[in-house]
Amino acid sequence: MAAIRPTEATTAPWWRDAAIYQVYVRSFADGDGDGTGDLAGVRARLPYLVELGVDALWFTPWYLSPLADGGYDVADYRVIDPAFGHLAEAEKLIAEARELGIRTIVDIVPNHVSDRHGWFRAALAAAPGSPERELFHFREGRGENGEIPPNDWVSEFGGTPWTRIDDGQWYLHLFAQGQPDLNWAHPAVRQEHEDVLRFWFERGVAGVRIDSAALLAKDPALPDFVKGTDPHPYVDRDELHDIYRSWRAIADRYDGIFVGEVWLPDSERFARYLRPDELHTAFNFNFLACPWDPGLLRSAIDDTLAEHAPVGAPATWVLCNHDVTRTVTRYGREETGFDFAAKVFGTPTDLELGTRRARAAALLSLALPGAVYLYQGEELGLPEADIPRDRIEDPMHLRSGGVDPGRDGCRVPLPWSADEPYAGFGSTVEPWLPQPAAWASYAADEQGTDPGSMLTLYREALRLRRAEPGFAATPGETSDGRLNWLPSAPGILAFTRTHGLICVVNLSGSPAPLPEHDEILLTSVPLDGSGLLPDDTAAWLRRKR
């Protein structure tokens, strides 16, 4: 049995350098054969996750939900969606994982709830101006007959974020229509979310991911958006910090941690969420969105470490998640950065090139100081799938009038066994999203015995990352930033960690000499004996002195 990594004074807290694996439950593994992934599927695959070598699992929302936005529309936080299982099973899963040395992180979506949530149903049934409506943002419309939305904001998914109901009032939803925004100025909203945190910490979870963490608070006047206005009417408002301070006090009682989804370009504003009495960590979207370019990657790494250092929070390194284009696809395109606005159908992709770069990027991100997030299927090198248009469920696609391909292409049910129906996902009927024809060729069972596979690379890298003290966070070292760049030729990223560890990545366009070393620990592709590191390749080395 693997042991939970200790947290006493001789080691840094686990979350400062953890490898955390994101489970999109609907598409991870189907335990009951009905076409949708579920908790039984996850429980059956825990040995796989142990062998992969991850420290924690982050589950995207598994609560009761009509799935208008893949579960980010929660109808009840205290009920597991019957498509996934039930509460007792979630408790079992949390306990079983913990026995195996794996912690659990759940996802809380405080900006909004589902339109089927009890509060919203009650608000619809109640009259304008009622206490039930005050939990949300209901307003009269503009125009002669109130037929124009109350303000000019734009939904994160496109179009107006206002929907009009039968009695003529409008309600605000920054995302889809089925996701009404909560009124965070209301004490009951704060109280309820604090209770939800306690509910899940009581069930043994080690952490909570906070969805859309910078969007909760709104200017109470809900004014039109004037570009450049400070503060913004709904992004990154100062009121948020008081909310997170009270959440932190709760988490501290359970030794729990937070990871915030905070997309903010301003480093100083971003770091405010990571002050010692607020969130422990936040996702690093600047690194995730960064093109495959040596200068830009180096700046993203330097900026990340510099912005975290003053608040003493560890960085996180993320290459992909359930919202963005899969890494092997993104790196195989002309535009290798990620931008929601740039997504279109039919972008030419060189998957061989993308996979080569993704292998190098895996070694880069796993060598950086801080915690790392892996998204299910990343370890299999899955590409973004083309989903037939009539099967796309993502509201981002639907609300764009069919222009945006949406996010379903990175949410396709995983291939586990090459020779089984539906690539071993476990379904006896067609899974909720169709799998591409080539999916079986990515199956985990075959990759597990192939020394050259992406899965073998991730397993070996995670094993070394755990075994080598040079990759670990150091107790008392608040920035976790022990990274020193080595002088190197243009296009080469090379840095040392402690204990003689070196990571080098070649983005120069031609083979390059390795930095001085005594031992090669791991390379993203086999070297040919010339002593040169090929282009788009990474190596982990050790120098003894």
- Residue 421's CB is within 10 A of a number of other CB atoms, namely 15
Closer CB to ligand NOJ, residue 323 or residue 379? 323
Cα(60)–Cα(72) distance, integer angstroms: 8
CB of 236 to ligand NOJ, least distance (A): 15
Strands (E), 244-295: 257-260, 281-282
Taking CB under 6 A as the rule, which mask of x and - marks residues 243-262 in contact with ligand NOJ?
------------------x-
Q: What count of Cα atoms within 13 Å lies in the side-chain half-sphere of residue 355?
A: 17
Closer CB to ligand NOJ, residue 212 or residue 329? 212
CB of 277 to ligand NOJ, least distance (A): 25
The single residue among 136, 138, 175, 540 that binds ligand NOJ, judged by CB under 6 A, is 175
The single residue among 17, 30, 115, 211 that binds ligand NOJ, judged by CB under 6 A, is 211
Closer CB to ligand NOJ, residue 71 or residue 233? 71
Residues 104 to 133: which contact ligand NOJ by CB under 6 A? 109
- Based on the residue annotation, tell me whether 167 is a catalytic residue of this protein: no
Question: Which helix or strand (DSSP H or E) is residue 106 part of?
Answer: strand 103-108
Cα(472)–Cα(319) distance, integer angstroms: 20
Closer CB to ligand NOJ, residue 12 or residue 215? 215
Q: What are phi and psi of 27, to 5 degrees?
A: -125, 15
Active-site pick, 73, 107, 211, 408: 211
Closest CA to 24 of 423, 431, 412: 412
The single residue among 30, 38, 55, 69 that binds ligand NOJ, judged by CB under 6 A, is 69
Closer CB to ligand NOJ, residue 175 or residue 338? 175
Residues 80 to 109: which contact ligand NOJ by CB under 6 A? 109
368, 19 Cβ separation under 8 angstroms = no
DSSP 168: S
Residues 12 to 31: which contact ligand NOJ by CB under 6 A? none
439-442, long-range: CB < 8 A, 24+ apart: 439/385, 439/412, 439/415, 440/415, 442/380, 442/381, 442/382, 442/415
Whole-Å CA distances, 141 to 161, 174, 291: 13, 17, 43
Residues 398 to 457: which contact ligand NOJ by CB under 6 A? none
CB of 174 to ligand NOJ, least distance (A): 8
CB of 505 to ligand NOJ, least distance (A): 28
The single residue among 65, 155, 169, 212 that binds ligand NOJ, judged by CB under 6 A, is 212
Closer CB to ligand NOJ, residue 402 or residue 452? 402
Closer CB to ligand NOJ, residue 68 or residue 414? 68
The single residue among 55, 323, 384, 480 that binds ligand NOJ, judged by CB under 6 A, is 323
Angle between helices 187-202 and 239-254 in degrees, nearest 10: 20
Whole-Å CA distances, 467 to 97, 349, 499, 516: 21, 36, 12, 22
Cα(203)–Cα(304) distance, integer angstroms: 33
CB of 323 to ligand NOJ, least distance (A): 5
Cα(522)–Cα(460) distance, integer angstroms: 8
CB of 84 to ligand NOJ, least distance (A): 16
- Based on the residue annotation, tell me whether 261 is a catalytic residue of this protein: yes
Active-site pick, 261, 278, 323, 468: 261
Contact between 72 and ligand NOJ (CB under 6 A)? yes
CB of 210 to ligand NOJ, least distance (A): 10
Cα(382)–Cα(415) distance, integer angstroms: 9
* Residue located via tokens 């109130």: 146
- Catalytic sites, residue numbers: 211, 261
List of residues contacting ligand NOJ (CB under 6 A): 69, 72, 109, 175, 211-212, 261, 322-323
